[in-house]
Amino acid sequence: MIGELGARVLHRWRGSLQTRVAVTTFLLSGLVVLLLGILLLQQIRNGVLDAKQRSSLSQLDFGLQRATDQLSAVETADAASASRTASVIISELRDRSTTSDSYDVLLLATDPNDESETTASEFQPATVPAALRQAVTRYNREAWAYTALSPGHRPVLVVGGTVASSTAGYQLYYLFPLAQEQQTLYLVERTMLLSGLLIVLLLVVITAVVTRQVVRPVRHAAATAERLAAGRLRDRMYVRGEDDLASLASSFNRMAETVEKQISQLRELSRVQRRFVADVSHELRTPITTIRMAADVLHESRTKMTPELARSAELLQNELDRFEALLADLLEISRHDAGAVVLDAESVDLRSLVNRAAAAATPIAERRDCSLVLDLPDEPVIVEVDARRIDRVLRNLLVNAVEHGDGQPVEVCLRGGDGGVCVTVRDRGRGLRPGETSLVFGRFWRADPARARTSGGTGLGLSIALEDARLHGGWLQAWGEVGAGSVFRLTLPWRAGDDIGEPPLSLGPAEQVDVPEPRPEASGV
């Protein structure tokens, strides 16, 4: 569940520019508001406490002056009078406390052995921090400290100073509760938190709205481009206003119009080209048939001719065979280009097709002193294919391997698995140079341009084989290495049109697969 949710969030993050901008704005603005809030809270806290310290020290100054004046009038030796006077001072100073500026007062003797003291209900001598008393005693000046009162650890500010009196040594301390300041800071914190959150949310909403104005035309452009790629060449973007996005939409529409014109021209050119090839191939059959009959007569009478004429008759017969094969291949490739090929699938034991193709290639292999090595499973390999087309694919692969195998054995292996059925044809000839594994399926392409056109096939065999494999929903792939030979792998589904998984046979020593680009459909270029 968590993994599925994470995958959805990741998909949303990767697939939506508006989401990324909104989330980034939220995080960055939240961080900025947080830092500003901390800084402002620190400044407000320092300001509130500084104001409280100044007010407290002002009250302490008044109390010290009042205590000094009254204690100075008391006889030095009269300790009882000094104690009474101290009590009067405490009562008088405590009475000055108000609700808005409440405090408590404590007057302590400077001598630690003197137990005379005047306290309030909560302000006991132990409340005064020891460090504060030491500072007041040592430096004989005003000082302050923050502490907490139990229960509840209520924060308080304690200020104190020494009473300048010749009668006796006293220290005067004020206790100022900070509950009101604490409430003020809490109110400020809550206000800033809510305000900051509201500002961040407003920024996110504003960013989302602004981003949507930019992203929506881009999404529309992407959708229009996808429809154009799907063949709906007349789709266009809406042009609104005169801003940059409107300029983008206008430029996109002009580009789409240009592409539509070019594709239409290329389609027409392709259609004319296919029609020309089909017509020429078809129309040439009649004169070729006539020439074939004459050539057959000459070929049968070659024993009565001079050696030069007999050789010419043989050459004429061979070239007519090649020319008829070329016409047949041109007609076949034109049917593939036009999308007029129909698959006549039936259940066949693929082993029989491999054996039939090997038998057909055996005479060529014997002439080139090459042997065919078949590695077929013992059990039948029943697949649903067009037997005529797969037989043609296998014959093309075997003849190609024999012609380029330099007399070395050609290995044919057949295997079936969960991913489909594979047939590999491996030769040990000169191999293929880097980059040629994709060119080898090109029409009229030859690995050795120096070879004469009178040798080999028509140059269309592998192209037709590739189209036949794709017609079944399969693959035809090649691997080659200079000096190590080449491998062609035909992969077919168990049923025509089914999906193919991992092939049961590897291609090359390191599974170096090079899949040729798909041929455009008949309706395309």
Write the pLDDT tens digit of every residue in 265-317: 877 777 776 677 667 666 776 777 777 787 787 778 877 788 888 888 778 87
One domain, residues 248 and 171 = no
Examine the pLDDT at 516 and tell me if it is beyond 50.
Answer: no
One domain, residues 354 and 487 = yes
One domain, residues 422 and 349 = yes
One domain, residues 365 and 473 = yes
One domain, residues 297 and 252 = no
Examine the pLDDT at 513 and tell me if it is beyond 60.
Answer: no
Token pair listed for 330: 């041109």
One domain, residues 347 and 474 = yes
Does residue 207 lie within any of the structural domains? no
For residue 178, the enclosing domain spans 21-185
Report d(CA 515, CA 503) in Å as an integer.
14
Query: What pLDDT is attached to residue 517?
Result: 45
328 Cβ neighbours under 8 A, 6+ residues apart: none
Examine the pLDDT at 129 and tell me if it is beyond 60.
Answer: yes
Token pair listed for 184: 């003020």
CATH of the domain at 158: 3.30.450.20
Report d(CA 222, CA 237) in Å as an integer.
10
Indicate the pLDDT class of residue 510, thresholds 50, 70 and 90.
Answer: very low
Report d(CA 472, CA 497) in Å as an integer.
6
* Greatest Cα-to-Cα distance within the chain, rounded to the nearest angstrom: 168
C-beta separation of 94 from 105 below 8 A: yes
Query: What pLDDT is attached to residue 447?
Result: 59
Higher pLDDT, 520 or 64: 64
Average pLDDT score over residue span 318-343: 70
Does residue 347 lie within any of the structural domains? yes
Token pair listed for 3: 């993994």
Does residue 351 lie within any of the structural domains? yes
pTM of the complete model: 0.47
126 Cβ neighbours under 8 A, 6+ residues apart: none
Structure-token match 């960055």, residue found: 28
Does residue 61 lie within any of the structural domains? yes
Query: What pLDDT is attached to residue 511?
Result: 42
Instruction: Determine the angle formed by the axes of helices 461-471 and 307-338, rounding to 10 degrees.
Output: 30
CA 358 to chain centre: 49
Query: What pLDDT is attached to residue 338?
Result: 64
| Distances 253 to 22, 37, 249, 256, 515 between C-alpha atoms, Å | 30, 50, 6, 5, 34
Does residue 497 lie within any of the structural domains? no
Report d(CA 177, CA 152) in Å as an integer.
13
Phi and psi dihedrals of 198, rounded to 5? -65, -40
Write the pLDDT tens digit of every residue in 223-267: 887 887 777 777 787 777 777 777 878 887 888 888 888 878 877
One domain, residues 329 and 378 = no
Q: Write out the DSSP string of 233-278.
A: TT------SSSHHHHHHHHHHHHHHHHHHHHHHHHHHHHHHHHHHH
Indicate the pLDDT class of residue 165, thresholds 50, 70 and 90.
Answer: low
Helices (H) and strands (E) in the chain, counts: 12, 12
One domain, residues 263 and 120 = no
Report d(CA 461, CA 467) in Å as an integer.
10
C-beta separation of 414 from 426 below 8 A: no
Examine the pLDDT at 387 and tell me if it is beyond 80.
Answer: yes
Task: Work out how many domains the chain is built from and give that number.
Answer: 4
Phi and psi dihedrals of 383, rounded to 5? -130, 160
Report d(CA 118, CA 116) in Å as an integer.
7
One domain, residues 391 and 265 = no
